[in-house]
Chain A
Amino acid sequence: MSAVVVFIDQTEVSTSPGHPVLSKSSQELLTLARLAGEPVAAVAGEASDELAAALGGAGVSRVFASSQDELTGYLVAPKADFVAQVATAAGAAAVLVGNNFEGKEIAARVGIALNAGVISDAVGLTVADGAITVQKSVLAGSYTVEASATSAVSVISVKSNSVDAEPAAVPATAAVEQFTAEFAPASLGAKIIERTPKPASGRPDLSDARIVVAGGRGVDGNFGPVEELADVLGAAIGASRAATDAGWIEHSAQVGQTGKTVAPQLYISVGISGAIQQKAGMQTSKVIVAVNKDAESPVFEIADFGIVGDLFDVLPQATAEIKRRRG
């Protein structure tokens, strides 16, 4: 079986409590990698014993790790050099990375380095006769397409939540090899001169939360009812651009074309009209609930359950009812 290199970034490990050593999206990538071939991990940062054990559980026997300073001192390019060189060393037929900003850019540059086709925003893949076909959605979720790379290597960035992460049927023992990447001078051109950690919210990550409660201009500066409902549901908080532009909540909460794309089990949209750019980020959610006082809002066109009503009445009532039922 041919090697499938999975990029695992341990340089930006989330500090939130209870976060597994191998992130949920990395576990998903490894699950897909096993479908396509033999998973090989390219780890930026420290490959601890704990990480090696987790990788073994995911069926990885070969790990290439690098803690070179360049990987964290400069933007994107050094990580891409590292991944491309690991792919070459492992004789990879495919490279899988996450689909966040950085993941897509690593994919883009690895594509150039290996003269390989890049497919971003993947939601699944199938393998027939050793050839990989990728499923992805395009045009703000209005089409699903099947695409393939025509090159020797396929480079694929996969959206989180696209598959259920599963351990390997047969665990492996992961052997860690230290890898020294060589960086082109131009890769060291964009230097990170300052890095400010964002405060942790204590809530689940928006990108891989099971439930998202999102507020828009209708909350009128008061995210309180949204936060209270989110907290009884164990949900992440999202927002429309109108709400983030107004400064009511940080930009990282924005869902949509220029924010995050989410596909949770449940998306509760509150005081959001449902513009095309907002829908682009959430319309593949499993179940959509909308609360909006205007019955004509486009968000009702995609809602499984819609409430025409005032969020300041509906949300507190729902929150209290959930608490009551749970006793």
Chain B
Amino acid sequence: MENTALNIAVLVKYVPDAQFDRHLTGAGNTLERAESILSELDEYAIEAALALSEARGGEAAGNKVTAITMGPASAVAAVKKALQIGATEGVHLSDEALAGSDAAATSLALAAVVRHLGGVDLVLTGMASTDGETSLVPAQLAARLGLPQITFASSLEVDSSGEAHVATARRDGDIYAETIQATLPAVVSVTDQANSPRYPNFKGIMAAKKKTVTALTLAEIGVEPASVGHEGSLTVVKAAEAREHRPAGTIITDSGDAGIQLVDFLAAQKLL
């Protein structure tokens, strides 16, 4: 191809930090939004996007990495972090009607954002969000956009020497390791095996201040409010209960016979 530049969209989610206690609240049993961060698993998707862009000359050569998030006003922080790490520009879809969206509603809205942007060669996502942990969104997005789906990629390369961009990825299963190939445009989710994400540096943080974040509403991307949020979701959480803490166990310090005591414990539990 004459022009090997890629237009990449990276989906990033703003999630409560798992290092702190997380709580479900309210009628819909939704997650409290305290102490939130860019989902750690999406850092691997950002890194994959930047590596592909840089390998073909970066922004100067026409490559573009757009970080997209869907979420409340505060969620723009996830996009800003992606810009500091190196994304070219950001998009923040925010609308009151989106509150309470399940995977079906989330994938519907995100698919509409990708269509609205137009000309995207590659949609990159994390392997799972660290709050929802469903891993449903990437597959649903691919299905909705009618694009090939390469998910749980532990490596990703794009070859642009032929007629079209061709992505090659590795996926590690239990019984097989597979190599998968798709012609772009495609949706690809990457695992935490795919790369080592970089941190934002001072230069990146300064540069991010000049980058644009486009705010979008549902009306602007042509999505009916009733098709997303609590109303558009196809699942409901009817009840939530905090798991009981495990009762404190017996802790011993080895004074030479801990291995024997371990076997006694297993025998008492009928586990031998």
Q: Mark B233-269, 1 if CB is under 8 A from A, else 0.
A: 1111111111100100111111001111111011101
Chain A residues within 8 Å of B174, by CB = 100, 198, 205, 207, 252
Q: A205-B174, A306-B250 are in contact. Are A120 and B24 (CB under 8 A)?
A: no
Is the beta-carbon distance between A310 and B254 smaller than 8 angstroms? Answer: yes
What is the bound-complex CA distance between A289 and B238, given in angstroms? 34
Q: Which residue in chain B gives the minimum CB-CB distance to A252? A: B174
Return the 6 tightest CB-CB contacts between A and B, nearest first.
A317-B259, A189-B148, A309-B254, A117-B234, A108-B139, A318-B259
Number of interface residues of A (CB under 8 A): 94
Least CB distance from A316 to B in Å reads: 7
Chain A 289-327 interface 0/1 with B at a Cβ cutoff of 8 Å (1 = within): 101000100001111111111100111111111100100
Interface membership of chain B positions 127-167, coded 1 if the CB is closer than 8 angstroms to chain A and 0 otherwise:
11011011111111011101111111010000000000000
A222 lies within 8 A of chain B by Cβ: no
Complex interface: chain A residues within 8 A of B271 (CB): 211, 265-266, 287
Given contacts A109-B143, A325-B267, 4 further A-B contacts (CB under 8 A): A140-B133, A186-B148, A306-B251, A313-B258
Chain B residues positioned under 8 Å from A111 (CB to CB): 103-104, 136, 140, 234
| Complex Cα–Cα for A207 and B174 (A) | 10
Q: Give residues in A with beta carbon < 8 Å to B.
A: 12, 14-15, 75-77, 80, 100-102, 104-105, 107-109, 111-113, 115-121, 133, 137-151, 184, 186, 189-198, 205, 207, 211, 233, 241, 251-252, 257-258, 265-266, 276-277, 283, 287-289, 291, 295, 300-310, 313-322, 325
Asked if B61 lies at the interface with its beta carbon under 8 angstroms from chain A, I say no
Task: Please tell me if the beta carbons of A105 and B186 are within 8 angstroms of each other in the complex.
Answer: no
Chain A, residue nearest B270 (CB): A265
Measured CB to CB, the nearest residue on chain B to A136 is: B237
Check A101 against B173 for contact (C-beta < 8 Å).
yes
Give Cα A140–Cα B131 distance, bound, in whole angstroms.
Answer: 8
Within 8 A of A (CB), among B169-213: 171-183, 186, 191-193
Q: Is the pair B234, A75 in contact by a Cβ cutoff of 8 Å? A: no
Q: Please give me the residue from chain A that is nearest to B183 by CB atom.
A: A189
Are the CB atoms of A148 and B235 closer together than 8 Å?
A: yes
| CB contact under 8 A between A75 and B150, given known A198-B175, A314-B262, A317-B259 | yes
Is B41 on the interface with A (CB-CB < 8 A)?
Answer: yes
Across the interface, B41 reaches (CB within 8 A) one of A75, A108, A258, A318, namely A258
Give Cα A139 to B272, complex, Å: 32
- Point out the residues of chain B lying under 8 angstroms from A101, CB to CB: 135, 151-152, 173
Residues of B within 8 A of A316 (CB): 259
- Report chain A residues within 8 Å CB of B127: 258
Q: How far is the CA of A277 from the CA of B243 in the complex (A)?
A: 17
A118 contacts B136, C-beta separation under 8 Å: yes
B236 engages A194 (CB within 8 Å) = no
> Interface size for chain B: under 10, 10 to 19, 20 to 34, or 35 or more residues?
35 or more
Among A104, A137, A148, A314, contact of B238 (Cβ-Cβ < 8 Å): A148
B3 close to chain A: CB less than 8 A: no
Q: Which of B46-65 contact A (CB under 8 A)?
A: none
State the CA gap A306–B41 with chains docked (Å): 31
With a cutoff of 8 Å between Cβ atoms, the chain A residues found around residue B183 in the complex are 189
Is the pair B177, A196 in contact by a Cβ cutoff of 8 Å?
yes
Closest to A112 in B: B143
Q: For B258, give its contact among A113, A143, A193, A309 (CB under 8 Å).
A: A309
B262 touches A305 (CB 8 A): yes
CB of A150 within 8 A of CB of B269, answer no
A75-B171, A276-B18 given as contacts; is B150 within 8 A of A121 (CB)? Answer: no
Alpha-carbon separation in the docked complex, A186 to B150 (Å): 12
Selected contact of B265 from candidates A119, A289, A302, CB within 8 Å: A289
- Which residues of B lie under 8 Å from residue A307 when comparing CB positions? 251-254, 258, 261-262
A303: chain B residues within 8 A (beta carbon) = 249, 251
Find A118's partner among B104, B128, B179, B180 (CB 8 Å cutoff): B104
Kindly list chain A residues whose C-beta atoms are within 8 Å of the C-beta of B249: 288, 300, 303-306
Contact A198 B176 (CB under 8 A): yes
